């Protein structure tokens, strides 16, 4: 999209930090916070739809499962 690498890193970092801080301070479930900031037909909705259509949820679940299983292997000396 043409952003300088450092700008992209800074934006990503601030987005994650801000989201985490908001969740901790509000105590709301992350899905509820997502719903609060997602306008129907808006940019967030478009981005989330793209992630869902690309199988993002399954990819994350597979990655967590693989890391967990490898941790189990390492803990067992395998």
pLDDT digits (tens, 9 = 90+) for 45-75: 999 999 999 999 999 999 999 999 999 999 9
Share of residues in the chain with pLDDT > 90 (%): 94
E strand spans, 1-78: none
pLDDT at 15: 93
pLDDT at 11: 96
What gap in Å lies between CA 18 and CA 12, rounded to an integer?
Answer: 10
Model confidence pLDDT, tens digit, residues 17-34: 999 999 999 999 999 999
**Do the Cβ atoms of 19 and 33 come closer than 8 Å?**
yes
Give ∠ CA 4-49-59 in degrees, rounded to 5: 80
Share of residues in the chain with pLDDT > 70 (%): 97
Give 34's Cβ-side CA count (13 Å radius).
Answer: 10
**Do the Cβ atoms of 56 and 49 come closer than 8 Å?**
no
Q: Is the pLDDT of residue 78 over 90?
A: no
């Amino acid at each position: 999209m043409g952003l300088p690498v450092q700008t992209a890193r800074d934006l990503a970092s601030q987005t994650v930090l801000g989201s985490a801080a908001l969740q901790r301070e509000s105590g709301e479930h992350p899905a509820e916070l997502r719903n609060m900031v997602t306008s129907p037909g808006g940019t967030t909705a478009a981005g989330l739809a793209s992630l869902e259509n690309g199988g993002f949820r399954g990819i994350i679940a597979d990655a967590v499962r693989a890391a967990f299983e490898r941790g189990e292997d390492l803990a067992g000396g395998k």
